Amino acid sequence: MGPWLLLAAACALWATPGEAHSACRAPPHLWCSSKEIAQACQAEQLCARKAAHRASPPVSVQLYYESLCPACRGFLSNQLFPTWVMLNEILNVTLVPYGNAQERKAEGKWHFDCQHGQEECQGNMMEACLIHLLGDLDLYFPVIFCMESGSDVVGNLLPCLKVYAPELSLANVTACVNGDLGSQLMHQNAQRTDALKPPHKYVPWIVINGKHTEVLQSLAMEALFRMVCNLYQGEPPSACQGQLPATPSPSPPNICLRS
């Protein structure tokens, strides 16, 4: 492009915002609701990018974990949650709290034994109940992140609920945790975990787009954000462009082995 052409282009850019302002009367969240509005608001490029995102399936990350395993807490708090905050448009997260627990049936009821003791079973159950009662990742992931990133996972339930899901009362969660619903939900998580192929050998156990391999696992543990950007098939969101944030490598021990 010659200098005059550049200048002309610059003038054209310079001249349009005034017109756009007068024609664009829609608030930003409606800019892509029709072609006319997108044009009037000069959001056509932005809307094309949004449409491209919707056209490609999101990268799916399933996390099989247990509430008190330090490596699970580290991965969830330092990798998965921040990556989801930045890339939620292109990322489908599934949380399955159960991990290396074991179940047995006695007198018609399921009983659970957890690697880090009864408190871990309680934490798993609370999180399974939050997932069920809140139903939407946008609502329950912040509560679970808040619990897992604090000093006392189980003790953090109430303060985390108050901040991130005040519409759900502690009584509702407690009723689920202590009732049949909680043990049904945990039994479902046990079945999903036991159905893993290959079977899990440790947690956190990460499944990317339906697959678990040692290579995918270590890429995810080292730099999940970069991995999601690289795997996404559509137009990458702006967060993926430029310098990708470097993530600290996990400090050992970075897994909880299945016994």
Ligand X SMILES: *[C@@H]1O[C@H](CO)[C@@H](O)[C@H](O)[C@H]1NC(C)=O
Which of the ranges 14-22, 56-64, 108-116, 225-233 carries the binding residues for ligand X, by CB under 6 A? 56-64
The helix or strand, by DSSP H or E, that contains position 109, with its residue range, turns out to be: strand 109-113
**Residues binding ligand X: what is the number (CB under 6 A)?**
10
- Closest distance to ligand X from the beta carbon of 207 (Å): 8
Interacting residues with ligand X between 173 and 212 (CB under 6 A) = none
- Closest distance to ligand X from the beta carbon of 150 (Å): 23
Does 172 engage in binding with ligand X (CB under 6 A)? yes
Does 62 engage in binding with ligand X (CB under 6 A)? yes
C-alpha–C-alpha distance, residues 53 and 40, integer Å: 22
Coarse DSSP helix, strand, coil percentages of the chain, rounded to the nearest 5 percent: 55, 15, 30
Of 54, 96, 125, residue with least CA distance to 206: 96
Does 57 engage in binding with ligand X (CB under 6 A)? yes
Q: Which pairs count as long-range contacts for 233-237, CB under 8 Å and 24+ apart, including other chains?
A: 233/56, 233/57, 234/52, 234/53, 234/55, 234/56, 234/90, 235/49, 235/52, 235/53, 235/56, 236/90, 237/49, 237/53, 237/87, 237/89, 237/90
Does 80 engage in binding with ligand X (CB under 6 A)? no
Dihedral, CA of residue 224, residue 230, residue 231 and residue 237, to nearest 10 = 90
Does 92 engage in binding with ligand X (CB under 6 A)? yes
Strands (E) across 115-156 are located at none
Which one among 26, 44, 49, 60 touches ligand X, defined by CB under 6 A? 60
When the beta carbons of 41 and 72 are compared against ligand X, the nearer one is 72
Site string for ligand X, 125-144 (x = CB under 6 A): --------x-----------
Site string for ligand X, 13-52 (x = CB under 6 A): ----------------------------------------
Q: Which residues bind ligand X (CB under 6 A)?
A: 57-58, 60, 62, 92, 94, 133, 168-169, 172
